């Protein structure tokens, strides 16, 4: 058996395993129609609000504002991570696509880029793997968990990068090695943290089926060269320095495992096509993937993803820039829950700065050892205001308790900062942080 090159029958869809039953054909068209409905529901939003979407919107907004007002392409993004963020930590190609359309479409340019990334990945997969175009094989391909998460969680740079990687696979299978190298390089440049290891796994997994192994390894190394600067930029991003090496490694492994389904599913289906029970194999595979996604919704974060189909901006998050003491240009630590990070987004769009980026690691939703450790954290991040949504207590951290205790401190100064409760309502509490006092920090 060889998977290295597509056969003529596979290319034109005439292979025996590609024969469609009426049930398989109807299921395929029904699933395509369902994806069409999902796309329409998402594309009607100027801002899709899900786990990973608003990071795309804020970066595109910032770059578009500078680019279209004569500032060129920025390297730094001072509105995030207390002035240390990068404008393009990754995602240059899809974000610039949206930037160029911003004057015509505004935020909807990002929504469009998200939809195009999903459609591009699906089309590229069926082009690269023509054996999967028909019947239940197509159904199993279309329920790929990587497709569902990529679109509904808003993984815009990954969708575009994965599309380029799959195009590279299709070019290689057709003997177009130069184009395969070009698209593999573009994929890794677009999303270096995930695509560099994913392409490496693809290459070493493909070696056993590849007649010209030296050519494959040589092509991989060439494609990797332009991705090295992109990887260096990722390591220069402040979020890298805000997390331990062990935690960063765990996040990388977890993310890579989930997103590797973009390759595991089509290649797994190709292998199943050569098994004796191939007639029922795609049906079983499709059922397993669908059931797996349904039962893991409570722990996978996909409740947030499916909710994005009808989610509007959170009212509590929208109210933050309207607080009496909201100060444009000040650095805010925004602690919200269940709003898809819209509180952070609303603050920046209203002229505030954030102490963090939009990544969960950077938001630092954890407890602190004591008041002095927390005070040092506030000083390091140059925080001037902390705003807490009352729902934030669901993260079960001690941050608000520390703020309340520091605000009530009889000395008025803890670890070099003073905390004042500036505003409190039924939904929000705003604390003003001052660094104008000085107290010795305990050494024990």
List the structure tokens of 438.
Answer: 């000085």
Checking if the pLDDT of 113 tops 70, the result is yes
pLDDT of 401 higher than 50: yes
Average pLDDT score over residue span 203-215 = 92
Scanning the structure block, which residue is given the tokens 């500078």? 66
Burial of 286: CB neighbours in 10 Å, binned 0-12, 13-18, 19+: buried
What pLDDT is recorded for position 11? 44
More confident residue, 301 or 247: 301
Written as six digits, the tokens of 384 are 């001037």
Q: Over the range 335-374, which residues count as b (16 or more CB within 10 Å of their CB) and which as e?
A: bbbebbbbbbbbbbbeebbbbbbbbebbbbeeebeebbeb
User: Over the stretch 20-52, which tens digit does the pLDDT of each residue have?
Assistant: 788 999 999 999 999 999 999 999 999 999 999
User: For the chain, how far is it from start to end, CA to CA, in angstroms?
Assistant: 66
Provide mean pLDDT across the span 337-365. 93
Q: What percent of the chain has pLDDT over 70?
A: 92
Place 439 in a pLDDT band, splitting at 50, 70 and 90.
low
Checking phi first, is residue 329 left (phi over 0); if not, alpha (psi -120 to 50) or beta? left
The residues near 241 (Cβ < 8 Å, ≥ 6 apart) are none
pLDDT band at 276 (very low <50, low <70, confident <90, very high): confident
441 within some domain: no
Has residue 444 been placed in a domain? no
Q: Residues 156-191: pLDDT tens digits?
A: 999 999 999 999 999 999 999 999 999 999 999 999
Is 50 exceeded by the pLDDT of residue 314? Answer: yes
Question: Which pLDDT does position 301 carry in this prediction?
Answer: 84
State residue 298's pLDDT score.
Answer: 87
Q: Are residues 253 and 334 in the same domain?
A: no
Residue 307 has pLDDT above 60, yes or no: yes
CA atoms of 370 and 417, how far apart (whole Å): 14
pLDDT at 17 over 70: no
Q: What is the residue range of 411's domain?
A: 315-434
Position 440 scores a pLDDT of: 54
Quote the pLDDT of residue 436.
79
In a domain? residue 278: yes
Q: Give me the pLDDT at residue 356, please.
A: 94
In this structure, the answer to whether residues 287 and 422 fall within a common structural domain is: no
Averaged pLDDT, 128-145: 96
pLDDT of residue 442: 53
Q: Would residue 2 count as lying in a domain? A: no
Those residues whose C-beta lies under 8 Å from the C-beta of residue 426, and which sit 6 or more positions away, are 390
Q: What band does 371 get if pLDDT is binned at 50, 70 and 90? A: very high
State which of 273, 307, 341 marks the end of a domain: 307
CA pair distance 81, 271, nearest whole angstrom? 46
223 vs 189: CA distance, rounded Å: 9
Of the residues 264, 280, 307, the one at which a domain ends = 307
331 shares a domain with 271:
no
Q: Is 364 left (phi over 0), alpha (psi -120 to 50) or beta?
A: left
pLDDT of residue 444: 47
Q: Please compute the mean of the pLDDT values over residues 244-252 and round it to a whole number.
A: 70
Q: Which of 307, 334, 368 is the last residue of a domain?
A: 307
Predicted model pTM: 0.91
């Amino acid at each position: 058996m060889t998977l290295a090159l597509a056969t003529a029958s596979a290319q034109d869809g005439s292979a025996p395993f590609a024969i469609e039953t009426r049930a398989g054909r109807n299921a395929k068209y029904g699933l395509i129609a369902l994806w069409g409905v999902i796309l329409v529901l998402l594309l009607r939003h100027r801002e899709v609000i899900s786990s990973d979407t608003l990071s795309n919107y804020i970066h595109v907004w910032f770059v578009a504002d500078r680019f279209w007002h004569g500032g060129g392409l920025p390297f730094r993004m001072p509105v995030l991570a207390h002035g240390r963020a990068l404008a393009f930590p990754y995602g240059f190609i899809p974000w610039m696509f949206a930037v160029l359309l911003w004057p015509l479409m505004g935020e909807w340019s990002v929504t469009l880029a998200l939809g195009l990334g999903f459609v591009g990945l699906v089309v590229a997969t069926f082009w690269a793997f023509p054996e999967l175009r028909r019947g239940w094989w197509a159904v199993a391909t279309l329920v790929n968990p990587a497709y569902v998460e990529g679109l509904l969680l808003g993984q815009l740079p990954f969708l575009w990068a994965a599309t380029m990687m799959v195009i590279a696979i299709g070019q290689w299978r057709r003997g177009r090695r130069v184009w395969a190298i070009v698209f593999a390089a573009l994929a890794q440049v677009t999303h270096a943290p995930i695509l560099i290891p994913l392409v490496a796994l693809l290459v070493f997994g493909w070696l056993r089926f590849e007649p010209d192994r030296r050519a494959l390894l040589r092509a991989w190394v060439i494609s990797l060269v332009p991705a090295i600067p992109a990887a260096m930029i990722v390591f220069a991003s402040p979020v890298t320095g805000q997390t331990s090496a062990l935690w960063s490694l765990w996040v990388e492994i977890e993310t890579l495992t989930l997103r590797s389904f973009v390759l595991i599913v089509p290649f797994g289906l190709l292998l199943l096509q050569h098994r004796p029970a191939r007639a029922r194999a795609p049906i079983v595979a499709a059922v397993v993937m669908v059931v797996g996604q349904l039962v893991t919704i409570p722990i996978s974060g996909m409740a947030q993803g499916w909710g994005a189909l009808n989610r509007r901006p959170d009212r509590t998050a929208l109210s933050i820039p309207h607080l009496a003491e909201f100060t444009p240009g000040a650095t805010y630590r925004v602690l919200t829950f269940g709003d898809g990070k819209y509180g952070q987004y609303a603050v920046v769009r209203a002229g505030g700065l954030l102490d963090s980026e939009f990544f969960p690691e950077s938001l630092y939703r954890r407890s602190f050892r004591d008041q002095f450790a927390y005070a040092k954290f506030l000083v390091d991040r140059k925080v001037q205001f902390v705003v807490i949504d009352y729902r934030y207590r669901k993260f079960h951290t001690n941050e608000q308790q520390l703020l309340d205790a520091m605000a009530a401190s009889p000395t008025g100064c803890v670890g070099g900062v003073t905390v004042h409760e500036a505003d409190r309502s039924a939904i929000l509490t705003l604390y003003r942080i001052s660094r104008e006092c000085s107290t010795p920090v305990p050494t024990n």
